[in-house]
Amino acid sequence: MLDRSEVLHVARLARLRLDDEEVDRMAGELSSILGHIAAIAALDLDDVPPTSHVVEVESALRADEPGPCLDRDVALAQAPAVQDGGFLVPSPQAG
Amino acid sequence: MNGGGMPSDGTERGAGGPAEVASYEPVIGLEIHVQLRTRTKMFCSCPLSFGEPPNTHTCPVCLGLPGSLPVANAEAIHYGLMIGLAVGSELAPRSIFHRKNYFYPDLPKGYQISQYDEPLCSGGRLGEVRIHRVHLEEDAAKLTHVGSSGRIHGSDASVVDFNRGGTPLAEIVTEPDVRSAEQASEWLRLLRTTLRQLGVSDVNMEEGSLRCDANISIRPVGTTQLGTKTELKNMNSFRFIERGIRAEVARQEALLRAGETVTQETLHFDPRTEAITSLRSKEEAHDYRYFPEPDLPPVRITNEMLHRARTAMPELPAARETRFASVLGLNVESARLLSWRAELGDYFEAALDAGASMHPPAGAQPLANWISELTARHDGDDPADSKVTPQALATLVGLVGSKKLTQGGAKQVLDRLVAEGGDPAAIVDAESLGAVGGADELAPVVRAALEANPDVAAKLRDGDMKPIGVIVGYVMKETRGRADGGEVTAIVRAELGL
């Protein structure tokens, strides 16, 4: 069973703010997921390669040919704040 | 990239500590980020940026907009394979991309697409340093701190420019085989030359297309256990790298000698003040929760891709050094200098070609020597940026070779060439710098020298040749260095009947 501090650590990494009731619920839900993974981990899977992708496609590569870019006004349209043609954000040092 | 496993895991107490340790040795591993010289970004078709106005080279993919899908650039993979071939890596027949998750304003998706446990290239060696791995990833956007802004309530603000975001990067990670600051910068020059020869990157440190982090620990000489390492970030010149590593090694040694321990942390070196400061460290900063990028299928390296990469391989510094030494007969120092610094080698070969048709042809070793004279006078790394063309240098060397110009005269001509450019032969004529030779021209000067120095002349007549330098010096002064010392000596002997 995950404890509260582990849930809060994961939530912090994902920038999620959970209230007390949610922390308890997530501890239960995450623990059941981890329990399922533990059940799989108990199997002898030495001969089975890890599955990184579920679709059997490989090497869908792109030729190095330039395509159109967005107009800057369009790119910046959804920014909460804009300055000097850039996205204005709180300084990470301050955060 | 943090999960690849530099051997020092940093959880052990620093090696040593006891004050009686006689001397410590640094153990240094390097992580180099190289911007690849593709036309477009790593996962979208936006053209790479070279100083365009901010946010004019963006699209939904590199802005991380919902619903957009990345597609890997085949040319970036090609360049990655070339780097792997150049350092003798094992090339993965199949490699995959991972998401490296962290929040920072220069990373719009909340993760960087990188590679983790199945990189494109594993192992290898360049010079005396082993390569741990080479993998591909995307560059972050550029953040410019703008101080406080009224538009963001109550805090410092930064402006994000996504033009650079998504630029293809190759990250090259070495094993901890470097043992000094000097070795680090010398090896990085070799790496830079290799990458430049490959044509995969501009490798311009000032512009950030080649960036270096150093993982540094120290241990008592003679021991093998690794000490706690620190990571010195983002040094952008060879000089700063050398000074930064030296300062950090000294800091760690002072800590251990004082009985304290080294803390694993990320550090910044300020080249102006030589100060080393800890970058903001959050305990979860290295908890990147890598997982396979579901939007990018695995990359299968086909025989065709391998063939294309092998075919594209140019002559690399090590092979060039061998050719310069064995085929052209250069001495060891010249061969290494001209091959490890490709710009010098390219200039040398251009001058050699230009001098080949001369009579007699400009020799390889004299040309190499005169390139050193040129770099000593030219303010800059690349002699091709000077006013001296390879053709002009070859002509100069030819004039010396055919005795029309003495070494001293040639240096004067070279001074003029560096300052103004032009044709050496014309400068020789205009400045009357041509070699003075033959008894007709030199004998009168030698006679004048003997008359002006009767004491010396008497000693020489008695067979004491020691003071002959006085006579040679007089002649050189009179001819402004245009006489050949050996010839002057011979004429002195003839004049005195010796």
| Encoded tokens for B203 | 């490798």
Domain boundary among B288, B308, B328: B308
Say if residue B395's pLDDT is above 60: yes
Q: Is residue B225 part of a domain?
A: yes
Mean pLDDT to the nearest integer, B462-482: 86
Q: Is residue A91 part of a domain?
A: no
Q: Report how far apart, in Å, the C-alpha atoms of A20 and of each of A8, A27, A30, A34, B63 are.
A: 10, 11, 15, 21, 34
Phi-psi region for residue B385, left (φ > 0), alpha (ψ -120 to 50) or beta? alpha
Cis peptide bond N-terminal to B360, omega within 30: yes
Q: What is the mean pLDDT of chain B?
A: 89
How far does B103 lie from chain A, in Å, by closest CA? 8
Residues B100 and B240 in one domain: yes
Question: Does B73 sit within 8 Å of A59, measured CB to CB?
Answer: no
**Which residues 342-371 of B are in CB contact (within 8 Å) with A?**
none
Supply the pLDDT for residue B357. Answer: 76
Range of the domain at B209: 24-308
Residues B106 and B190 in one domain: yes
Supply the pLDDT for residue B483. Answer: 84
Among the partner residues A61, A64, A89, nearest to B157 by beta-carbon distance: A89
Helix boundaries (H) for B138-222: 181-198
Quick one: pLDDT band at residue B151, thresholds 50, 70, 90?
A: low
Q: Is residue B1 part of a domain?
A: no
Q: Is residue A24 part of a domain?
A: yes
Lowest mean pLDDT among A72-81, B273-282, B383-392, B483-492: B273-282
Q: Per DSSP, what are the bridge partners of residue B66?
A: none
| Encoded tokens for B199 | 């044509």
Q: Output DSSP code: residue B483.
A: B
Among the partner residues B71, B287, B292, nearest to A62 by beta-carbon distance: B71
Percent over 90 (pLDDT), chain B: 59
CA-wise closest residue to B171 among B187, B144, B190, B191? B191
Q: Report how far apart, in Å, the C-alpha atoms of B439 and of each of A1, B291, B486 are.
A: 103, 85, 13
Q: Is residue B364 part of a domain?
A: yes
- Cβ partners under 8 Å of residue B155, min gap 6: A90, A91, A94, A95, B148
Number of domains in chain B: 3
Residues B28 and B53 in one domain: yes
Closest chain B residue to A66, measured at CA: B45
Q: Is residue B135 part of a domain?
A: yes
Q: Would you say B82 and B309 are in contact if contact means Cβ atoms under 8 Å apart?
A: yes
CA B420/CA B387 separation, integer angstroms: 7
pLDDT: is B342 or A82 the higher one?
A82
The top-scoring range by mean pLDDT among A88-92, B88-92, B359-363 is: B88-92
**Residue burial A14-42, b: 16+ Cβ < 10 Å; e: rest:** eeeebeeeebeebbeeebeeeeeeeeeee
DSSP string, B334-350: HHHHHHHSHHHHHHHHH
Residues B328 and B278 in one domain: no
Residues B294 and B415 in one domain: no
Supply the pLDDT for residue B340. Answer: 86
CA B235/CA B451 separation, integer angstroms: 64
Please report which helix (H) or strand (E) contains residue B235, including its range.
strand B230-235
Q: Is residue B12 part of a domain?
A: no
How far does A45 lie from chain B, in Å, by closest CA? 19
CA B293/CA B66 separation, integer angstroms: 15
**Residue A36, helix vs strand vs coil:** helix
- Cβ partners under 8 Å of residue B454, min gap 6: none
Question: Does A64 sit within 8 Å of B152, measured CB to CB?
Answer: no
Q: Output DSSP code: residue B384.
A: G
How far does B185 lie from chain A, in Å, by closest CA? 30
**Residue burial A49-62, b: 16+ Cβ < 10 Å; e: rest:** eeebeeeeeeeebb
Q: Is residue B15 part of a domain?
A: no
Residues of chain B with Cβ-Cβ distance to A92 below 8 Å are 104-105, 143, 158
Q: Does A53 touch chain B (CB under 8 A)?
A: yes
Q: Is residue A68 part of a domain?
A: no
Quick one: pLDDT band at residue B114, thresholds 50, 70, 90?
A: very high
**Residue B164, helix vs strand vs coil:** coil
Residues of chain A with Cβ-Cβ distance to B297 below 8 Å are 53, 55, 57-60
Q: Is residue A20 part of a domain?
A: yes
Question: Does B46 sit within 8 Å of A67, measured CB to CB?
Answer: yes
Supply the pLDDT for residue B16. Answer: 46
- For testing the chain B interface, which of A84, A91, A93 should be mutated: the one with the most B CBs within 10 Å? A91
Residues B282 and B355 in one domain: no
Residues B60 and B207 in one domain: yes
CATH number of the domain encompassing residue B449:
1.10.10
Question: Does B46 sit within 8 Å of A61, measured CB to CB?
Answer: no
Q: Does B163 touch chain A (CB under 8 A)?
A: no
Q: Report how far apart, in Å, the C-alpha atoms of B277 and of each of B128, B247, B273, B289, B413 are.
A: 31, 11, 11, 27, 50
Q: Does B304 touch chain A (CB under 8 A)?
A: no
CA-wise closest residue to B30 among B210, B162, B168? B210
Among the partner residues A13, A84, A95, nearest to B289 by beta-carbon distance: A13
Q: What is the mean pLDDT of chain A?
A: 91
Number of domains in chain A: 1
Q: Does B206 touch chain A (CB under 8 A)?
A: no
CATH number of the domain encompassing residue A28:
1.10.20.60
Q: Is residue A13 part of a domain?
A: yes
Q: Is residue A81 part of a domain?
A: no
The 10 Å Cβ neighbour count of residue B104 is 14
Supply the pLDDT for residue B407. Answer: 85
Supply the pLDDT for residue B7. Answer: 43
Q: Does B282 touch chain A (CB under 8 A)?
A: no
What pLDDT, in 10s, does the model give residues A17-56?
999 999 999 999 999 999 999 999 999 999 998 888 888 8
Residues B286 and B324 in one domain: no
What pLDDT, in 10s, does the model give residues B4-27?
334 444 444 444 444 467 899 999
Q: Does B292 touch chain A (CB under 8 A)?
A: yes
Mean pLDDT to the nearest integer, A7-15: 90
Q: Is residue B11 part of a domain?
A: no
Closest chain A residue to B162, measured at CA: A86
CA B107/CA A89 separation, integer angstroms: 12
Question: Does B47 sit within 8 Å of A86, measured CB to CB?
Answer: no
Residues B217 and B95 in one domain: yes
**What are the two backbone dihedrals, phi and then psi, of residue B478, each rounded to the nearest 5 degrees?**
-65, -35
Phi-psi region for residue B214, left (φ > 0), alpha (ψ -120 to 50) or beta? beta
- For testing the chain B interface, which of A6, A57, A82, A89 should be mutated: the one with the most B CBs within 10 Å? A89
Mean pLDDT to the nearest integer, B472-484: 85
CA B283/CA B279 separation, integer angstroms: 12
Residues B265 and B203 in one domain: yes
Domain boundary among B308, B340, B363: B308
Range of the domain at A30: 1-45
Residues B34 and B107 in one domain: yes
Lowest mean pLDDT among B52-66, B128-142, B266-280: B266-280
**Residue burial B302-338, b: 16+ Cβ < 10 Å; e: rest:** eeebeeebeeeeeebbbebbeebbeebebeeebbbbb
Supply the pLDDT for residue B15. Answer: 47
Quick one: pLDDT band at residue B489, thresholds 50, 70, 90?
A: confident
Q: Does B285 touch chain A (CB under 8 A)?
A: no
Question: Does B294 sit within 8 Å of A85, measured CB to CB?
Answer: no
Residues B240 and B322 in one domain: no
What pLDDT, in 10s, does the model give residues B180-226?
999 999 899 899 999 998 999 999 988 889 999 999 999 999 999 99
Q: Is residue B18 part of a domain?
A: no
CA-wise closest residue to B102 among B293, B284, B292, B295? B284
The 10 Å Cβ neighbour count of residue B239 is 12
